[in-house]
Amino acid sequence: MKRKKLIRNILMIALLGITIMFFTNVIFAANMAKVTVETANLRETADEESRILVQLSLNDEVEVLQKQDNWYQVKTKNDVTGYLREDLIEVSGDVEEAKTNQEEVKNEEELAETTNQVTKAPEVETSATRIVKEDTKLKIVPTINATDIIDVKKNDEVIVVETIGDWVCIEKETTKGWIRADKLMTVEEKTKQDEEAKAKEEAEKQASSEEQQKQSTKTMYANSTTVNVRKEMSKESGIVAQISQNTAVEVISEEGGWYKVKVNGKEGYIATNLLSNEKTQVTTSSRGSTGTRREQNTNKQENAAPVANPGKGATVVETAKKYIGYSYKYGASGPTSFDCSGFTSYIFKQHGISLNRTAKAQYSNGVAVSRANLQPGDLVMFGPSVSGINHVGIYIGGGKIVHAANPSRGVTIDTINSGYYNNNYVGARRVL
């Protein structure tokens, strides 16, 4: 009898335990829910415009605390408490409606404040314009492995919508997506970056220009007893310095019958006819009278109309044309860039003929030929006068020359029957 009673007591206790476990599981299940969408925003309050605390993914489980209208107050596994819309989760069982008395509201506010202190992260101001630092892609959710939406390019302007931790939701035109905060910069930062880049570019350009100028300079010598270094390219311009015959100057560039020079630490301009590549040999005869006799002899030689060598002239022209399109560089004499006299010297040297280096000096090479008797291969000189010759080219026939024109055009072909070359024609020399 006692044995039966003992067995009955054990069975009742076991049944009671099973019943308690069953109801405990039912109660626990009734307080749990699963996320039913790919991404669900857990918000600070029961409001669509409220700040996002975290984002939950499909099948994430949360503990349901209470229901408020069409929102559930829930707690995540990481103990972050917030609100989810009822259409974003599936709740097992019934949930008690939230109390609305003032004490309950106060408790919720205190709880939200505590949550903010735990989860608050640096934020980017919403509605602010930001600049994309580099090419990247917008993500559908704020995770590295999330699906890409669209490409955003470096320097694109976007609008900030909201932030979560290190991620920023931005709007580009009509598309919204997520991007890492470190891939954005402010308009002010972009402006400063552009200014620094521009300053660097200008500095590099200046350094390059100075280097090119340094490489293109050459030394020439004053060929008159006294030579004025002027402030501007004009005989009426002020005098910067005066130099004596055979004084060496550094020639920087040439333009319009003037050399830009540097001498004794000063920069200025000297007419091209007042400088030579070599020092002047001083004789008992005056330089002026020598020049006069030379011009008189030139006129006599032109009248003589020397016989041309058409075959060799055509060969020289053919060689010269091969260099059309090559660059112009002051002081250069080949093989990839030339100034005017450097070009003629280089071409004729290939045919065994040595010419003086400058256009003015080449006017003393060979014999003079009249304009009416020009033949292919003749040297043609230009300038304001015989003493001011500043350009030379090779006649190719048909009233045209091939020459190293200037830095912008390089080696090219021009007519001498109109424009500048017609108006500044000085004479021609036959060296073949």
Note the pLDDT tens digit of each residue in 105-154: 455 555 445 444 434 444 556 678 899 999 998 888 888 888 888 999 99
Of 403, 416, 421, 430, which residue is the catalytic one? 403
Of 74, 138, 340, 402, which residue is the catalytic one? 340
Whether pLDDT at 312 is above 70: yes
Q: Determine the average pLDDT of the residues in 229-236.
A: 91
Whether pLDDT at 93 is above 50: yes
Tell me the residue length of the chain. 432
Q: Which amino acid type is present at position 422? A: N
Q: What is the pLDDT of residue 95?
A: 67
Of 391, 400, 429, 430, which residue is the catalytic one? 391
Q: Active-site residue 403, yes or no?
A: yes
> How does residue 79 score in pLDDT terms, banded at 50, 70 and 90?
confident
Q: Is residue 129 packed enough to be buried (19+ CB in 10 Å), middle (13-18) or exposed (0-12)?
A: middle
Q: What is the pLDDT of residue 345?
A: 95
> How does residue 383 score in pLDDT terms, banded at 50, 70 and 90?
very high
Q: Which residue has the higher pLDDT, 1 or 159?
A: 159
Q: Which candidate, 330, 320, 327, places its Cα nearest to that of 359?
A: 330
27-31, 173-177, 275-279: which has the minimum mean pLDDT? 27-31
Q: Which amino acid type is present at position 385? A: S
Supply the mean pLDDT for the chain. 81
Q: What is the pLDDT of residue 208?
A: 66
Whether pLDDT at 101 is above 70: no
The contacts found for 349-358 with CB under 8 angstroms, 24 or more apart, are: 350/319, 351/312, 351/315, 351/316, 351/319, 353/431, 353/432, 355/379, 355/431, 356/277, 357/277, 357/333, 358/276, 358/277
> How does residue 99 score in pLDDT terms, banded at 50, 70 and 90?
low
Write down the pTM of the prediction: 0.35
pLDDT tens digits for 168-221?
Answer: 899 988 888 999 999 999 989 988 888 888 888 888 777 766 666 555 578 899
Q: Which residue has the higher pLDDT, 302 or 83?
A: 83
90-104, 286-300, 324-338, 386-400: which has the minimum mean pLDDT? 286-300
Q: What is the pLDDT of residue 306?
A: 52
Q: Active-site residue 391, yes or no?
A: yes
Whether pLDDT at 19 is above 80: no
Strands 226-230 and 258-263: unpaired
